[in-house]
């Protein structure tokens, strides 16, 4: 079920503990929950409230159900941009200690710099969740996105202070971001297995044998993967999933002088596309694309085609 209203799903909300202890004291009369999912992957949840004896109608539920896939794709696209704009170098990890009430007792300068990438309210929520999860399970890890990109939090019990939690905050490493990026790109579980084997250097014959499929079926999976990622082959796929995150962060706005023969990642709808200029052109002060910048060299075939075009043009003069 994509969307459901409390008073439609439950005949007597007064028997629901959450309603009695939280919603009713706050004046909430009805609640509508909307599941945001694309291709079976959930990317978020929307919770709407109504007050003063007003309830959600069947028409409201139908509208929310119809809007849910659109909102989910928008969230997935926003996450794609955040992931692709989060280089793993240039920002050392930071450390901090949370008290029993999740207040920050001690923090390093590096942690302060990283936390500045998130809104203050989001920082308070993340630290509270990290603290409670660590006390409940012994260790906990959270990955969050914000205006400044993606951050990973890792918590463990701190010795010497009852209830205290020692936490590390850092930019995620490419190996941590790649599984998330594959989900954002819409790869199925089987396609993720194909990509993992491909990036481990396995040949098509060996990979097909390992995954118990024919090479023809493997080729179909690869064409689908390359199409979803907007790449031409294994090298560009590896660069998308790993290479761009090793690039040091640069200031937004204008980029340094570069040649337009470099490949550029752009976003159309919720899909990544790779744009390759046909002829070399000097470009100065290019504006950042929605996904930031990404450079990749041309393949051998592209270089050969360029040489042939140049030779044909000179022969026709």
Least Cα distance to 197 among 231, 154, 234 occurs for 234
Contact 202, 210 (CB under 8 A): yes
Residues 178 and 223 in one domain: yes
Structure confidence at residue 148 (pLDDT): 74
> What pLDDT shows up at residue 238?
86
Q: Quote the pLDDT of residue 117.
A: 84
Residues 8/42, Cβ–Cβ less than 8 Å: no
**159 and 118 share one domain:** yes
**End residue of a domain, out of 119, 150, 170:** 170
Indicate whether this model's pTM tops 0.75: no
Burial classification of residue 253, based on how many CB atoms lie within 10 Å of its CB (0-12 exposed, 13-18 middle, 19 or more buried):
exposed
Helix (H) or strand (E) holding 183: helix 174-184
Given this model, what pLDDT does residue 312 score? 56
CB 79 within 8 A of CB 186: no
Residue-level pLDDT at 255: 38
| CATH value at residue 191 | 1.10.10.10
Of 84, 114, 149, the position where a domain reaches its end is 84
Q: How many domains does the chain have?
A: 4
Q: Is 156 part of a structural domain of the chain?
A: yes
Q: How many CB atoms lie within 10 A of CB 118?
A: 20
| pLDDT for position 175 | 73
Q: By three-state DSSP, how is residue 158 classified?
A: coil
* Same domain? 63 vs 101: no
Give the sign of the dihedral formed by CA 291, CA 295, CA 300, CA 304. Answer: positive
Which of 217, 233, 249 is the last residue before a domain boundary? 249
Residue stretches of the chain with pLDDT short of 70: 81-90, 243-317
Same domain as 155, residue 98: yes
Same-domain pairing of 137 and 183: no
**Residue 89 lies inside a defined structural domain of this protein:** no
Decide if 131 is inside a domain. yes
pLDDT at 288 (0 to 100): 33
Residues 134 and 64 in one domain: no
C-alpha span between 152 and 86 (Å, rounded): 11
Predicted confidence at residue 133, as pLDDT, reads: 93
231 lies in the same domain as 256: no
Q: Which CATH number characterizes residue 166's domain?
A: 3.30.450.20
Range of the domain at 56: 3-84
Does 284 lie in the same domain as 245? no
Q: Is residue 281 included in any domain, yes or no?
A: yes
């Amino acid at each position: 079920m994509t969307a459901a209203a409390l008073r439609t799903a439950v005949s007597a909300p007064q028997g629901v503990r959450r309603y009695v202890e939280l919603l009713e004291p706050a004046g909430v009369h009805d609640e509508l929950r909307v599941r945001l999912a694309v291709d079976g992957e959930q990317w978020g949840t929307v919770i709407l409230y109504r007050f003063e004896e007003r309830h959600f109608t069947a028409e409201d539920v139908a509208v929310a159900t119809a809007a849910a896939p659109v909102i989910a794709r928008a969230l997935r696209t926003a996450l794609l941009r955040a992931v692709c704009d989060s280089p793993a170098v240039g920002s050392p990890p930071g450390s901090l200690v949370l008290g029993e009430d999740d207040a920050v007792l001690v923090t390093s300068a590096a942690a302060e710099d990283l936390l500045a990438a998130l809104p203050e309210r989001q920082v308070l929520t993340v630290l509270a969740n990290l603290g409670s999860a660590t006390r409940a399970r012994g260790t906990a890890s959270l990955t969050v996105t914000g205006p400044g990109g993606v951050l990973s939090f890792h918590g463990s019990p701190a010795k010497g202070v009852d209830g205290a939690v020692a936490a590390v905050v850092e930019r995620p490493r490419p190996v941590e971001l790649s599984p998330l990026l594959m989900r954002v790109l819409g790869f199925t579980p089987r396609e993720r297995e194909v990509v993992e084997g491909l990036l481990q250097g396995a040949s098509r014959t060996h990979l097909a044998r390992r995954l118990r499929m024919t090479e023809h079926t493997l080729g179909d999976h690869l064409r689908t993967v390359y199409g979803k990622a907007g790449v031409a082959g294994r090298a560009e796929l590896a660069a998308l999933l790993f290479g761009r995150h090793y690039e040091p962060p640069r200031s937004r706005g204008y980029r340094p002088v570069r040649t337009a023969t470099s490949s550029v990642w752009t976003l159309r709808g919720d899909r990544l596309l790779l744009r390759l200029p046909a002829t070399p052109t000097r470009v100065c002060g290019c504006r950042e694309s929605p996904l930031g910048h990404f450079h990749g060299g041309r393949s051998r075939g592209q270089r050969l085609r360029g040489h042939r075009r140049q030779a044909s043009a000179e022969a026709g003069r």
